Amino acid sequence: MTETLMVIPILHYLTFCSVLFGIGVIGVLVKRNALVILMSIELMINSINLLLAAFSTYLNDPAGQIFVFFIMVVAAAEVAVGLAIIVLIFRTTHTIDIDVLNKLKW
């Protein structure tokens, strides 16, 4: 029991990751630059990764950390394709302002 008192409570990780996730959500909603929106999505992915790793360590179950590894793999692939699409959009429309990209809206 004295040992667990030294450990940072899991609640602090939950709160911290919630705040980070919320900042990411606000970034996606507020920003107009497609690049910064992609960065906000990275922020959200990272907050979830940290939470998975925290629970994995606290429950002594390595599966969580393996999952974080796979999420990183998928995030790297996602960023490569996403940035290629942004470059493509910039080449055709000369802007990456998402409010201009409404051709598929209606």
Partner 1 sequence: MFTTYLFYFLCILAIYAALMVLVSRKPIHSVLYLVLVFFAIAGHYILLNAQFLAVVHIIVYAGAIMVLFLFTVMLLNLNREETSPKAGWVKVSAIVAGGLLMLVMIGVFRGYEMAVTSNPALTQIGLVKNLGRILFDDYIIPFELSSVLFLTAMIGAVMLGKKEQIKKTYD
Q: Could you say which residues in the range 19-78 bind partner 1, by CB under 8 A?
A: 19-27, 29-33, 35-36, 38-40, 42-43, 46, 49-50, 53-54, 56-63, 65-66, 68-70, 72-78
Contact 40, 27 (CB under 8 A): yes
Is residue 99 close enough to count as binding partner 1 by CB under 8 A?
Answer: yes
Tokens 């429950």: give the residue. Answer: 59
Supply φ then ψ for residue 54, to 5 degrees: -65, -45
The Cα–Cα gap between 58 and 85 comes to 39
Is residue 83 close enough to count as binding partner 1 by CB under 8 A?
Answer: yes
Is residue 11 close enough to count as binding partner 1 by CB under 8 A?
Answer: yes
Q: Cβ 26 to partner 1, closest distance in Å?
A: 3
Is residue 14 close enough to count as binding partner 1 by CB under 8 A?
Answer: yes
Q: Cβ 98 to partner 1, closest distance in Å?
A: 10
Q: Which of 52, 44, 54, 53 is nearest to 12 (CA)?
A: 54
The whole-angstrom distance between residue 43's C-alpha and the CA centroid of its chain comes to 4
Q: Cβ 94 to partner 1, closest distance in Å?
A: 10
Amino acid letter, residue 10: I
